[in-house]
Amino acid sequence: MAGTANLSTVAIRRRTWRNVDGERIEGTWRHAFIRNGATYFLTDLLIYADGMVDCWGLVTLEEFAGKLESGWVATDLADGAQASAHHLASWRFTEPHMWLSPEMLLGEVRDDIDELNGRPDSTARCLAALGAFRGQPTEEHRAALREAYEAIPEHLRIYALGDQDSKDWPLRVLVAGPGHRIERHGEDAVVTEDMHAAALDYFTEREQQHQRYADRTPTDGVTESVETNVSVLINQVVFPHGWPQDSGILVLRNEFPAPVTVGELTCPTVTHAYWALAVADEGQQAEILRTDTPYAAQQLAESSPLRDGWAQARTAIMADLLRAKFNQHPGLAEVLTSTGATRLIYIEMGSTFWGEYGLEGRNWMGRLLELVRAELAVSKLTMGL
């Protein structure tokens, strides 16, 4: 089998966990080869937030370093050696090449453990040291920057700045300092004062670019059109003696007595209209429209066969009914638009499809109200054109 065996960071962003005394210990995993006897076994290396590593048995990070040193976790494959993936395949290596040394793989595992614990990894620590050096470019801070840079696994250093054009060149210039030698493109060069100043300018411009990006506003407005940190609850309320004159935000409820005309049908509420359109029998439809309350309309519909394909069509039909309600009642439309860009949460005890109740619910009604609210805003814009 010719080719390259890759143990790169691309493969490690998968999550796993293990339980210890009832506590969930977060982890991640990557592919690895374990050499047992003369055979290399392709397996999963499990890395946990508490610093334990499972390489055919749980070991501490220090013990894992020993497993790397001994070749148990293999980073060097022998030409012609037997390989196996349990119950899947077996093969022999032909001109194998591994990308990682034991030190590189150990460095990546250390970074994984830091990330699982929410701590800065080696790259983040280097960038923090860079900030300290730029704030006070002393030799003491340069030494700290050099130490942090060299702590990044060697193969990951070129990615530290996230710049595939310059790679880590500006960082290496600052790490070395004026008068010291640095390698680039296979040749040695001496860092000059001009090179050092250019590297400092690079980071100033980089910081300014990041700030401009952070401060920018997309041409057509903010990225999130709904204020997701502000919600309006449209509660389900029963008024046994009729709706109050000032019902506030509750006029957005489908049960609110706002007659809507749909085709040739005039319906007391959106709820009446919805259930009348849902049933297959025209006689039942007329009976639903004559019921005294939205609740009675729903009860009658629930005992009647529904139209074929109703489940697939219901969301679009409800959207049309809401458009009719707010287009035919401008005062109610003003209440809806007054909610601004807030998230609308429709409380519905009887349906986790249309609303939310407790911690469950898809809130389709709230989403459709937000859609109609946006369409009302569009109509205002077009009126001004």
What digits encode the pLDDT tens for the residues 211-268?
988 787 766 666 666 666 789 999 999 898 899 999 999 999 999 999 999 999 999 9
Pick the CATH number of 230-383 from 3.55.50.30, 1.10.357.40, 1.10.1740.10, 1.10.340.30: 1.10.357.40
Residue that is written with structure tokens 């007595």 in the block: 257
Sign of the C-alpha dihedral computed for residues 312, 249, 226 and 118 taken in this order: negative
Residues of the chain with pLDDT under 70: 1-13, 218-228, 383-385
Residue that is written with structure tokens 């296979």 in the block: 186
How far is it, in rounded angstroms, from Cα 199 to Cα 158? 15
Q: Model-level pTM greater than 0.75? A: no
Return the bridge partners of 227, or none.
342
Residue 213: count of CB within 10 angstroms of its CB: 8
How far is it, in rounded angstroms, from Cα 264 to Cα 276? 12
Return the bridge partners of 32, or none.
43
| CATH code 1.10.357.40 region(s) in the chain | 230-383
CB contact at 8 A, 89 and 55: no
- What pLDDT is attached to residue 12? 43
Amino acid at 161: L
- What pLDDT is attached to residue 215? 81
31-60 pLDDT tens trace: 999 999 999 999 999 999 999 999 999 999
Contacts of 145 (CB under 8 A, 6+ apart): 126, 129, 130, 132, 133, 174, 175
